[in-house]
Structure 1
Amino acid sequence: MKIKDFLLMILLLFSCHKKESSFYEIKSVNKDSSQIIWGNSIFKNSQNFENFVLDKDKIKTKWENENFIILQRGTGSEAWINLILPIKKNEKLFQTDQVLAFDSINNIIVRQNYNSEEYPFQLIKLNTFEKDSIRFKTKNCESVNIVNCIDKIDFNEKALIINWTTPNKFEKNGKTEIAVYSLEKLFKK
């Protein structure tokens, strides 16, 4: 086999496993609603939604991988809405709020849990919708909204890492702490 033929064969093999690029678009239906269309070159999903959520000028892509597109839309306050679009045929979008981080390897989001002061963060596996919550001591956060005390929140391959700060009105610099939560332990309850 000639080198030229060999290189052509390798090129063909790599082009067969080409990653599908995903997309979304928003189309107006009427004065009250719009349609969001998403998918890739193989399929398209669509769903109608109220115009407030699907405001083209206020919605943006926050995260994405080969399985999900996560859109974010501010509400004009410290809150925001997230639309999670599964890149799978005939799937519906999932709406939630306050998504703080996305683990693109394990398809897990962490969001603020308003319903519990003792467990203020909720993790959701997007493939199964399995949920777990994180116990977090908030007594040092002087803000009503715990998100204001988070310096950074992120995932590595096996853990959720929260860098949080406890600002103090009487000190120049607040105290910064790092909390690490094993994903394996969180979802084994």
Structure 2
Amino acid sequence: MRLPKILWVLVLTLVACSSGQQSNYAADTSQVARQQDTSHYADLYPLVIQDLNKKHVTESGSYYMLTQFSDSAVKITWGNDTIKRTYDEPLDFMFAERLNVKWENKNYLILDYSTGSGAWLNVVLPLNNMEQVQEFNNGLCFDKKYNLFVTEEFADTVLAVRNLKTKATQFVIEKEKPCDAGSNDACLDTISISSKMLYYKWTTPHKYSDKKSSIEKRVRVTI
């Protein structure tokens, strides 16, 4: 049996309405799911949510700011009176909550955040529009005058001194008295750098031992 033309129009209209309602329902449920996901992360990391789009200003007038990238990640924006930049790499809420300013001078703003027990990551943000962002593990000290950044290394290469401007690196090696601990940080009792002179106290077998012995060392930085 053939339906009259007017009935076909009514049937097609009902089908289209039903399809549209289903599509709208799917979109609505998807949006609710995204909102629930965001709410979940907001409950876990309320300090990150509170800090979004707020400038953390340093003593010298530089700043960094967190902007939302997704429901679980942010991006770092930084600058001063003359520049404003955004780092391309997103940062998870978990790490963003631990982010803080570690060192700074007129050339760099250096942030850090913990990535685990005895491990942290440093983000070196250049205060200009030319240099790229640099990342290093376990930064220990910074010579503000000469842009020299010192990091903990592994095995008998205990330290690396890095010139942030020239990208040159000078390694410090300890072969005679190796560290018996899992990381060299356990044998680095104190460490500092100033005017291209690196000072550190090397304690073996490690600084927590009852039978430890220490020796103070100086290394002239030539890079």
Given the two structures, how large is their TM-score scaled by the length of structure 1?
A: 0.77
Report the secondary structure of 2:157's partner residue.
coil
1:149 paired with 2:187, answer yes
- Correspondence 1:26 to 2:26: no
Compare the two structures and name the one with the higher helix fraction.
2
Matched, 1:104 2:144: yes
- Structure with greater contact order relative to length (CA < 8 Å, sep ≥ 6): 1
Counterparts in 2 of 1:96 and 1:138: CA distance versus 1, 3 Å: farther
Match for residue 126 of structure 2?
86
Whether the aligned pair in 2 keeps the contact of 1:85 and 1:94 (CA below 8 Å) is: yes
How big is each residue's C-alpha offset from its partner over 1:2-58, in whole Å with a ceiling of 9 and x where there is no partner?
A: xxxxxxxxxxxxxxxxx9621111111113542211111111011232333883321
Task: In structure 1, list runs of 5 or more residues that go unmatched.
Answer: 1-18
The structure with more strand, counted as a fraction of residues: 1
- The alignment of Structure 1 onto Structure 2 pairs a total of residues equal to 164
TM-score after normalising by structure 2: 0.66
| Aligned position for 1:16 | none
CA distance in 2, matches of 1:120, 1:43: 36
Give, in whole Å, the separation in 2 of the partners of 1:71 and 1:168: 28
Name structure 2 gaps, 5 residues minimum: 1-58
Q: 1:40 to 1:92 in 2, by over 3 A?
A: same
- In 2: Cα distance, 1:77 partner to 1:20 partner: 31
Change (3 A) 1:135 1:20: closer
TM superposition shift of 1:75:
0.9
2:199 matched to which residue of 1?
161
Shift in alpha-carbon separation, 1:46–1:137, aligned structure 2, 3 A: same
Secondary structure at the counterpart of residue 120 of structure 1:
strand
Kindly, what percent of the aligned residue pairs are identical? 26
Q: Is the 8 A contact 1:120 1:136 kept in 2?
A: yes
